[in-house]
Structure 1
């Protein structure tokens, strides 16, 4: 005889651990499989940004047509951020969640026109973004370079500590009865008449349903059942400074350059923005020198005081993404009982809403959200 779980969740990052947490809270018998250790990959290597607005970089790259297609994701991210701001009290754990607002700065009139167009699109789906003159920008963010001519503030954005978040959800999921097996790399998935069999080397596990929350490996996992989903992985890099006195109050962006800046509770400044890293001969992400140089150049151009802070570490990691930037959530076509939970680029931001939706769909229930999830269906 063998043990049959209700659900197997594949992936021990933020998506997998939150999905397991919500499922177990509904009384579902869950096994979570992670190929390395919980929070070992992108979920623990990101900058901890909590995003909701249209991101400047893809809007610049792909234009208004792309942005209009992305609009259904804004209520999704807004709901997820609302959940983030409540979760510390629910878990009873300090995750260093703060709601500081997302501030995009503009260097010239063209940048301001861009921000006006972006704000109008966001407003059309209920997200308020306040446009700021140069004087208003300096009043709210005196650390910004005086060369900036204005900006736009999205008040619901913030940050969390990714080194704390996933382990906290894993611990809470275990408290709810979830079995977590680490060091289990999925090598095969078989759909049998009454259940799924998931093979990890010489070990096999069985469940009535499966959730693919494998992040950068989600495409590979889906392909084991001949699923073709818009899922890719991209190597990017991030830098952190030594602790400095309080300086940056917001989650900061540059409207026409690749930049995010934020200051942590410990005083360190995280400098990112999606700059590309490289893959070595073993296909492991490595820091790219030119990306580091340009990232730091734009950071100092935007916040001159950053130049006085020493960089103590720069690292590279692979993140999951797709060109649409839309989440992929739901049952995979042609594979009844096999569900996808995939949030590209902004996985931490969308994790709570995506996992609550996935947990409901996996049980055959209507998700407790008031926005349309049809644009996120796989396939």
Structure 2
């Protein structure tokens, strides 16, 4: 019987394998395709800490106050990102120049200020900027922007490098990783679980569900219901251009994440929907692409000079409240969730470390009891 089987070979799964193997736990990771082929390797690499502005505007302050307790987790997650390059001995292109949310109208600015008040109450450093402050900090932003909010700890990392780095480090520590092995069923036993896989039966004392957008399917095999949905979104990258965007940039007027990679390419996203047909096949939405680029150019006019190289779709997991799902569901001991909807790249490593602490029965320094499966937002 294996001590811990991890289902899912994305960032949360690979990081879980690493942190558990580091503690001497016997680990087997199962991935039905190859590692890092889903959302963990297809996102834009943003590292967030602020409450996302679009759902704040759409859902209001009550929603934001329910989400805000995740801020300490994300702050700890960013500190972990900063430490992991040295720990893993691999460059991950981690950079935290700060996140900048810009506003064009007085109404947008008032919303920015209200959100910042909630963020500050949960310990997040956020500075409100007037027009002159914005010009000094980000002269590349359009003169039409009247102000914004700046969070100095946000930034980016490379999604093509992170998951493989954790996986390779886990294997060096003795973890086993089986690619192209799908889990078809999970049976709860008197002690532990039996997993039916395409490579045969596997017995495990404990399971970590780190299956991302397919976590609902994996959970249902163990008799656990999750209110988790897969959402098709898309990201665009341009040709390399001269240094332009210095921060992780957002717009208070519409969905946008904009940043510049070390090689000079601009990465443009923000959660715009991609297409998904009845068979689950993803494709790019030209309408979303045009709208996303229009928002980016409105905020940073210099973006218009960069030619688009590629746009690609991906499935991400999401919930209405955006809150993480961490730990054991009621009545199913030993079955652990490592899920952070929408923020999986930012929070993948910290979610993995928190679940590792739960498995080992030790205190993590962060109270995550409110995020246990089945827990309700206060």
Residue 352 (str. 1) matches residue 349 (str. 2): yes
CA RMSD after TM alignment: 0.9
Q: 1:87 aligns with which of 84, 87, 96?
A: 84
Aligned mate of 2:98, from 98, 101, 122: 101
CA contact (8 A) 1:356 1:367 kept: no
Matched, 1:367 2:363: yes
Moved over 4 A (4+): none
- Separation in 2 of the partners of 1:229 and 1:350? 19
C-alpha deviation, 1:159, in angstroms: 0.3
| Partner residue in 2 for 1:36 | 33
What whole-Å deviation, never above 9, does each CA across 1:164-216 have from its counterpart, x for those lacking one? 00000000000010000000111101111122111112511111111100001
Q: Which residue of 1 aligns with 2:329?
A: 332
User: 1:130 Cα shift?
Assistant: 0.3
2:229 aligned with 1:232: yes
Shift of 1:256: 2.4
Q: How far apart in 2 are the matches of 1:336 and 1:305?
A: 54
Partner secondary structure for residue 146 of structure 1: coil
- Contact 2:194/2:203 (<8 A) preserved: yes
SS in 1 for 2:16: helix
Partner of 1:189: 186
SS in 2 for 1:166: helix
> What residue in structure 2 maps to residue 317 of structure 1?
314
* Partner secondary structure for residue 203 of structure 2: strand
Q: Does 1:150 align with 2:147?
A: yes
Look up the match of 2:283. Answer: 286
Contact 1:72 1:372 in 2 (8 A): no
Give the Cα–Cα distance (whole angstroms) in 1 for the partners of residues 350 and 362 of structure 2.
Answer: 13
CA contact (8 A) 2:7 2:208 kept: yes
Name the TM-score, length of structure 2 as normaliser: 0.98
Within-5 A mapping of 1:229-308:
229-308=226-305
Gaps of 5+ in 1: none
Q: Which residue of structure 1 lines up, in the alignment, with residue 166 of structure 2?
A: 169
Give the TM-score normalised by structure 1.
Answer: 0.97
User: Aligned partners of 2:215 and 2:363: how far apart in 1?
Assistant: 22
SS in 2 for 1:257: coil
- 1:34·1:181 contact (CA, 8 Å) conserved in 2? yes
CA distance in 2, matches of 1:305, 1:177: 48
SS in 2 for 1:294: helix
Aligned to 2:217: 220
Shift of 1:366: 2.6
